[in-house]
Amino acid sequence: MKDKKTPLGGNVSWKETTPGGIIYDAGNATRYKTGEWRSMKPVWNKDKCKQCMLCFPVCPDSSILVEDGKMTGIDYDHCKGCGVCVEACPFNVFDFVKEE
Partner 1 sequence: MAIRERLSGNEAVATAMKQINPDVVAAFPITPSTEVPQYFSQFVANGSVDTEFVAVESEHSAMSACVGASAAGARVMTATSANGLALMWEILYIAASSRLPIVMPVINRALSAPINIHNDHSDSMGARDSGWIQLYSEDNQEAYDNIIQAIRIAEHKDVQLPVMVCMDGFIVSHAVENIELLETEKVKEFVGERELEDYLLNAERPVSMGPLDLPPHYFEHKRQQAEAMKNAKKVILEIAEEYEKLTGRKYGLFEEYKMEDAEVAIVVLNSTAGTAKEVVDELRENGVKAGLIKLRVFRPFPVDELKEALKDLKAVAVMDKADSFSAAGGPVFTEIRAALYDVEDRPEIVSYIYGLGGRDVRVDDIKKVYDDLKEIVETGKVESVYNYLGVKE
Using CB under 8 A as the binding rule, whether residue 27 contacts partner 1 is answered as no
How far, in Å, CA of 9 to CA of 7, rounded? 7
DSSP-based three-state secondary structure for 11 = coil
CB nearer partner 1, residue 13 or residue 30: 13
H/E element, 65: strand 64-67
Residues that bind ligand SF4 (CB under 6 A): 42, 49-55, 59, 61, 63-64, 71, 74, 79-85, 89, 91, 93
Q: Residue numbers of the site for partner 1 (CB under 8 A)?
A: 1-2, 4, 8-10, 12-15, 17-24, 26, 36
